[in-house]
A and B are shown apart, each in its own frame.
Chain A
């Protein structure tokens, strides 16, 4: 039984693609067959984060238009052979996606993969709508700031009304909240909204809290999903989040301001 997971947010720049890449990689590393699809037609980024930008020959729009087969368009990850990437088209726009086309491609993928991760574009227009429409689950990425929280609230509303599961009366889709760019120090200083604030406003619990960290940018630039860097707090936090997505129960980490140990203080670590 395969599942379609949409990673969405409403607002741009909150970490959807970073999260899609790490969630897909995390699920694959746990032995599942995973494909991650870039729905951001015209602003293709996922291939960069996954480090396969030079291997894109055919893309999602080619498959929808019947110009290429799925097999031709899917890019196998070099690090994790049970993970595939379906890149977006950079030369087209969101109108190239059609509901029928997306549905056909997803159905074809369902036959071969356990998890289909859909990296949604920002906004709530056609691209984002189609990314969420066929989802069984949603990961809503939110930053601890008011505009992102409001946009997420809007997206949660759309997920509860504008998805096929809901329209066909098959029940709600499962909603998860992923709080990214969390900086415990700034929260303690009162500059940033706290986890509690965000959970209260949105009325759902988080799947994970990803601390703001330098490794995220480095990983993105080098084409390695940050979840592969298990020495970094962000990588560990994504790993926890993926475990929770699969039903494991793990305590939240990285919520407190890091206290430096005696040796670190002595030697300036």
Chain B
């Protein structure tokens, strides 16, 4: 392959999955403990994974020093904070002082919670493809999508998705007519329908949509996620194996329902 035919760099926007970390209470010790556990549970997915910190829960924003400490805490826990989510002008001011970018993708999540936020565990959202693809892996394919005038888009992949392939259906559902092989990854902002076996990873609701679901004919997945709530299926219950089922989110728990 002659190198001269290829561009020296390739700029893409909005195609990589980045986790967002929505803080429920500003308790550094608890955050560190929870994040450390998460990273240890799925080191391949989360170690050194980029995360965007969402501070919009707090009506009274912590000051620059406190947020600086928070970022250090997260780094110690094993993830790499890369920015803040878009929010009030105070968040913007904070981001400028910290020299961090603001990310404005998940606006749906910005409704401020009640000041007395429940002590829920911090959660990572949209951890799609958090582990960087090896250099030789093919770039994430956009599945064929048609965008006619009505703004209606659909995304259908005919054939098997092989190990190392990655398909992302942005802002829509994804339908796969074939198997998703071990080590393959299918991601959609909406639902994922697989008319075949799922042996790789499926991440539905990658943009934070909690109602998204994963459906498949034969469940043998390595990992499934809905809106960033993932489960590695190393310990998958035997009764799920090979079954037709759907995966959906109930609160922060993934439910696996057989499709009769």
Contact = CB atoms under 8 A, between A and B. Distances in A.
Interface of A: 98-100, 124-126, 129, 149-151, 153-154, 156-158, 160-162, 200-203
Contacts, number: 57
A201 B162 CA distance: 10
Given A124-B136, A162-B138, A157 B164 contact: yes
Contacts of B162: 153-154, 156-158, 160
A223 B5 CA distance: 42
Interface of B: 1-2, 136, 138, 141, 159-165, 178-179, 181-184, 196-197, 199
A160 B159 contact: yes
B1 A154 contact: no
Nearest to A125: B136
B243 to A, nearest CB: 15
Given A124-B136, A125-B136, A203-B178, A157 B197 contact: no
Given A124-B136, A150-B183, 4 more contacts: A129-B1, A157-B164, A158-B164, A201-B182
A96 B164 CA distance: 27
Contacts of A158: 138, 162, 164
A153 B163 contact: yes
A99, A100, A158, most chain B CB atoms within 10 A: A158
Contact of A201 (B2, B141, B181): B181
Contacts of B136: 124-125
B141, B163, B165, B184, most chain A CB atoms within 10 A: B163
Contacts of B197: 200-201
A203 B196 contact: yes
B196 to A, nearest CB: 7
A138 B2 CA distance: 24
Contacts of A200: 197
A149 B196 CA distance: 17
Nearest to A126: B1
A87 to B, nearest CB: 23
A154 B183 contact: yes
A99 B5 CA distance: 12
B183 to A, nearest CB: 6
A154 B159 contact: no
A99 B2 contact: yes
Contact of A157 (B2, B165, B199): B165
27 contacts: A98-B2, A99-B1, A99-B2, A149-B182, A150-B181, A150-B182, A151-B163, A153-B181, A154-B163, A154-B183, A156-B160, A157-B161, A157-B163, A157-B164, A157-B181, A157-B184, A158-B138, A158-B162, A160-B159, A161-B165, A201-B182, A201-B199, A203-B160, A203-B178, A203-B179, A203-B181, A203-B196
B6 to A, nearest CB: 12
Contacts of A153: 162-164, 181-184
B176 to A, nearest CB: 12
A241 B198 CA distance: 30
4 closest cross-chain pairs (CB), A and B: A157-B162, A153-B163, A154-B163, A153-B181
